[in-house]
Amino acid sequence: MTNITTADQSAHRSRVLANKGDIFASFDVEDFTVPKGRDEEWRFTPMRRLRGLHDGSAGDPVAATITVDSGDGVTVNTVKRGDDSLGRAGVPVDRVAAQAFSGFEDATVVRLAGNPDTVTVVVDGPGEDKLAYGHIVVETEKGADAVVILDYRGSGTFADNVEFVVADNSRLAVVALANWEDDAVHLSGHHAILGRDATLRHTIATFGGSVVRTIPRVKFTQPGGDAELLGVYFADDGQYFEQRLLVDHSVPNCRSNVMYKGALQGDPASDKPDARTAWVGDVLIRAEASGTDTYELNRNLILSEGARADAVPNLEIETGEIAGAGHAATVGRFDDEQLFYLMARGIPEDVARRLVVRGFFGEVINKIPVESARDRLSALIDEELDTVTL
């Protein structure tokens, strides 16, 4: 585990960051100052709605409820803070993540071998007006091929860290579904490390909750790694969803692909806050990461007034010896040409608009390598569309 002192922190902050991956990290919440809304990492986040997760005023936590539906090839253990199985995939990079690491009672460690059936990890919120912290580790053995679904549900305030340790020549597909009740506040750090010729398919789907902020960070440790980060989100009136990710190419000949798509619908007449999303995608190609092939994409579809989306792609390249790199991000309304095409073939306008939205999300959903997850996400999108006046 990394032990970083306050002196180390001061020295770190006194110099200019070398790159996006050069950021202070610590397991100790006291090593972090209280974040402010003007800080770059928090400039989009509604700090007043975090219920004290960021400044230590959240109150006393209750135990988190985490259950694992497992079978052959799956080992589940409960460990305490300080166990050697914790902290290998990454170290908290903000005060909330450090608070979550300092605050959990038990961590859940899931080890996967061979080709097990889909593993479902259910995280139940602590309940309205209650607080909980959690920590989950998902680890593959060499050569394993596994699928894990993280199912976040219920209400309350919750912060956690999730680690993915993907061993050499193994393959891990993860679908994290945040379908919280309307009152929920959830801040989560996802940390993944990939071994030689390892493959990660990581999907985040956010549909429920008042404030949901997820920070995925992926690092390649050996050549041949392949990471695909997918995301879908649908924000309604009063909801704030944020994804802030980093893909760190630190070794040669690895590939990454990022594709996030979101839709927003608001109601200017409502007394709730506007529907709001923020997506920040950082991809770093270090000087030693020759042969890298990467691309990141974020698309946002505004369905009504009273909605706002921010999209910030960042690509930092320290070597010219790469296979390819690019990024794109858009925020817009319906494509009039698509609507015209459908309506010209006799499809009513309201039906045509729904088809456009489904097609918009379909590009991401069809990439998810878990049929049950694809079906569930499609159903959730249909539920959202039932409440939209397009």
pLDDT recorded at residue 276? 97
Query: Which class for 379: exposed (0-12), middle (13-18), buried (19 or more C-beta within 10 A)?
Result: exposed
Q: For the residues 164-182, what does the mean pLDDT come to?
A: 97
The pTM assigned to this predicted structure is: 0.92
Reference 247, options 216, 222, 221; nearest CA is 216
Alpha helices for the chain (secondary structure H):
6-13, 95-103, 336-343, 349-365, 371-386
Task: Render pLDDT for 143-153 as a digit per residue (tens, 0 to 9).
Answer: 999 999 999 99
- Answer for the pair 291, 320: CB distance below 8 angstroms, yes or no: no
Distance of CA 71 to the CA centre of its chain: 26
| E-only strand ranges, 226-347 | 226-235, 240-249, 255-264, 275-285, 293-302, 307-317, 324-332
Percent of the chain whose pLDDT exceeds 70 = 94
Task: Render pLDDT for 65-91 as a digit per residue (tens, 0 to 9).
Answer: 999 998 899 999 999 999 999 999 999
Q: Looking at 20-29, 172-181, 290-299, which range is the least confident one?
A: 20-29
Mean pLDDT of the chain: 91
Q: For the residues 227-243, what does the mean pLDDT come to?
A: 97
**Residue 355 clears pLDDT 90, i.e. is over it:** no
pLDDT recorded at residue 389? 61
Q: For the residues 130-151, what does the mean pLDDT come to?
A: 97
pLDDT recorded at residue 249? 97
Cα four-point dihedral sign 89, 130, 95, 152:
positive
Percent of the chain whose pLDDT exceeds 90 = 78
**Residue 1 binned pLDDT confidence (cut-offs 50, 70, 90):** very low
Helices (H) then strands (E): counts for the chain = 5, 19
pLDDT recorded at residue 244? 96
pLDDT recorded at residue 5? 43
Q: For the residues 295-307, what does the mean pLDDT come to?
A: 94
Task: Render pLDDT for 323-344 as a digit per residue (tens, 0 to 9).
Answer: 999 999 999 887 677 777 777 8
Give 320 or 104, the one with higher predicted confidence: 104
State the DSSP string of 135-186.
EEEEEEPTT-EEEEEEEEESSSEEEEEEEEEE-TT-EEEEEEEEE--TT-EE
Task: Render pLDDT for 238-285 as a digit per residue (tens, 0 to 9).
Answer: 999 999 999 999 999 999 999 999 999 988 888 899 999 999 999 999
pLDDT recorded at residue 13? 41
Give 320 or 12, the one with higher predicted confidence: 320
Query: Residue 274 carries which side chain, given as an amino acid letter?
Result: D
Q: For the residues 359-368, what does the mean pLDDT come to?
A: 91
Q: Looking at 19-28, 100-109, 179-188, 305-314, which range is the least confident one?
A: 19-28
**Residue 141 binned pLDDT confidence (cut-offs 50, 70, 90):** very high
**Residue 20 binned pLDDT confidence (cut-offs 50, 70, 90):** confident
pLDDT recorded at residue 102? 94
**Residue 164 clears pLDDT 70, i.e. is over it:** yes
**Residue 17 binned pLDDT confidence (cut-offs 50, 70, 90):** low
pLDDT recorded at residue 4? 42
Residues 112, 80, 61, 127, Cα dihedral to 10° = 30
